[in-house]
Structure 1
């Protein structure tokens, strides 16, 4: 009768997992790491020893500029470039370096041969800028400036001697005269500047200097002060004339308040006049309001008269003070102006002397300009005699220009990584895992074993036959191979491996039924995703009884759901325990846990009762998860750490349907 579902359980040679092959593979992997790390460290240390033991190099340089009078003429520019290239080659020629070596040895006690100088010195020409850059490189910064300075002076003196030998005496004479004139011009400039600073002379124009400006300013101020004096005097005379004629004079600042009082008085007098027309004088004298208004009008008249008198007096006093202040200001300015007139006469004399010094300076500059024109005419007549100027003199370097230690270190690290990877690839090519001793891969065929379905639910008479065959495949391979090995004694013996038994759902349920409380916990935990090495560390605090979960701590921390039957057993065992107490009465080892399961297997009368162990239960649980479609990389979320070799056993397990997420799978084995 055909079956729709078939599970494949990988069965290694001899029916199980090969620990010796795994150990050999672990050794090979360790050697690979050793080759990788060793090659990397060897190359990196060797390269860095070479990099960091090198002495730093310093560099000094000087820049020579060659000015040609014909450099703007296109037909002559090519010849000027040839001259520049010729100078560059002569700078590093053997004769020049030989002369430099002799000069350094005799004058400066520096012993450098031609080859050493050739390694130290370099000359680079730039035809576009008409410059030659001279450079010295070496580990001694103090020596570089001296060598470069002597090299530069030697070559310039060589060119000067060649000019003399070519009949350029007249040009040299012009240059000497021009140098002398430039020196005199510099001295005369210092004299003119010192004279101008000592006498506060800013310009040759008289009015642009300090003292004439001050005199001009004082004159303008005196004119303004005299105008103010005349105005104050006229105002005082007008005020006195008005007072003499009996006119009322009011100070402008008091006029608003006087006008306000006058308006109030006029309004009050108007009211009294209107009342006198309407009533008799006897009635008005008896009316208290009218009497009060009359008294108020009388008081206002007196107050207004006093206010006008005070205003006239204050106005007169203010005018007198203004006149006195104007007179004082005029007198002060006249005194200052008289003082500055004497200084102005002295300044005029100094200014005349300053003009004479400036005229002498201009005469020297005119002579220098004329001589320079004559020199240019001489240079034009010899277009390829360059005028050499030093744009940058030699200097003592303060910091090295190389080598770049950190850049070279980075390159050495990259090279070490490449060498290490190459060595690893070569080692992997030479040392390969021998596959001939492992034999071919067999599979245990378990029809109908899907999602924990027991053999008892298979149809027909195939149940007993298939269960017997599967049991033989799981348990009997080691015994069946023994006669064959005895018949072939000439072959080298191979290590025998322990079979990993796959329990059925009925066998797991039988184990759980007959087990004691501690064994029930061990079986339930292992068939829920707990690693056997994690059993020893479980405490009462890890048992989340209210949530029906088990908390696993450590590197692969997780929470594992538990079945309700197991929670009942946990509550009974945890009743007398503290939070930090282990679940076990005495500390148990892995062998102790295995013995608990073997005892339960004997009590359940299972076939081959000595084979059930923690590894068997874990293998049964992982096969149960994978058969549901759980991905291999998701097993660690429930079952904890799995070695890659151990995880690879489950690649051939038949997954009934598509892969599912771990959250969609039933993570509790039906052991109850």
Structure 2
């Protein structure tokens, strides 16, 4: 007996009403819990006061620089056992009972960056009480600082007076040492320029400079005289110039007289005249005297220039020796003066320290620490009007959103667990066996879609007056897709994936897709050759070749078919975007299996199936054996899947 069950996609989902009820109950529960969490928390208030931890500055004084170390010390002091103990006593006297541990838990001190300010905080649920606690805390701190400063002032005064006595003794000793050292090393003043050694060194430098200038001048004069001699010029000392000039005049007058005689008389007459014949000899003697006088003058001038140069060089040498000795003396003096300056700086430091300590003692004596404590309360605490936490306005939307998400999750979880606990057993092959009519004592029941085995779905069918038969599930196979579902699916896939689907719906197994290349396709004959262990040649429907064009174009460009994982992901994505009622289990194996069942419905036997789809696994053959319609029709089988027809 063959019975067809309606498709699951055609039935109204039985859980829609239950989901709405579960969501409503979960929403009420989660919203109640969220509101309880938000408004069930006690409000926390904070009271705070600001305290300047250093002495308040005067009107005309600059602000004190930030001292992080001092601020951290005061922060530890504010939270110390001593001050908190005093605060507990003060609060008890004011009628606010609190122990040290409770105070430490609710009190906090926060430094203000880049300042000497501290913010004293107290947190709790009673605003009025918090303000009282913080203000008593500030007063207790003020008294403690005044006591500490007063005690520190007495201790500091004693230390300063003792240090002043030591400094006075050291100053006397340093002054005596400085004076003795200055006397021993001829240091007459506190300035370096006042030293006699430096003054002598400067005089020697000046004298050496002048001597070198004279040496240069003497050398230049000697060279000029040599050049004049080379040019034939006369060199006459100043003291001989008059004598040589007079002798030169005598020579010139004698030459003029001889010229006149030679003009008036002949040489023979001159030689016979006793008064005239001696004149040429006298003139020659006079000229020789002039030449000797000029030679002596030239020698004298050069000797004087040479002597002047030698004297200048000797002077330079002597001054250089004196300068070298004086420089060594100055170096020794410099070392002594450096020591002198060190002693003087030490003495100045002691005297400066002595004066500073005296100034500090005077300031301590004049300062009134009780009336003017070394802190300033910038702002006293007041009772806060609004809590610092929780932030109800912020937390409420968050809690409501979380409650709705939790309600949705609980609804999904309830639906999921309900489906798992009462989930129908599905035979994707589309067949289940009820007992009674075949050789094994059971009868076949065929379904065109997965058959749920829940009680609600079959109650009508089981109302017939017959005994309930045992149900035997066949081995679980890939999902069976109806032609209408495949048509909806293929609308949402791209052209490349559609070509792969055409091959799957023509008998090519998913594992055989990666074996195909462009030589396997013969568009002229309309066939595709499938390589591998199940080598065969499949005739494709004319409408399939239009779907294969993008795939063939990729094969021509060296791009192979999609891997099985990528193809399954693409089909799953398309199933999620399609209008299918059931979107799970859609993959390449499901398409190929749907084509296999399509052929089995027409009565194709295993021989025809293997000729078309390749070898079949034993478990698949076992599952299909009782599913097939009796009587194999062979050539009458329509091998083209409905969606591939023109």
- TM-score normalized with structure 2 length: 0.31
Using CA pairs under 8 Å that are at least 6 residues apart, name the structure with larger relative contact order, 1 or 2: 1
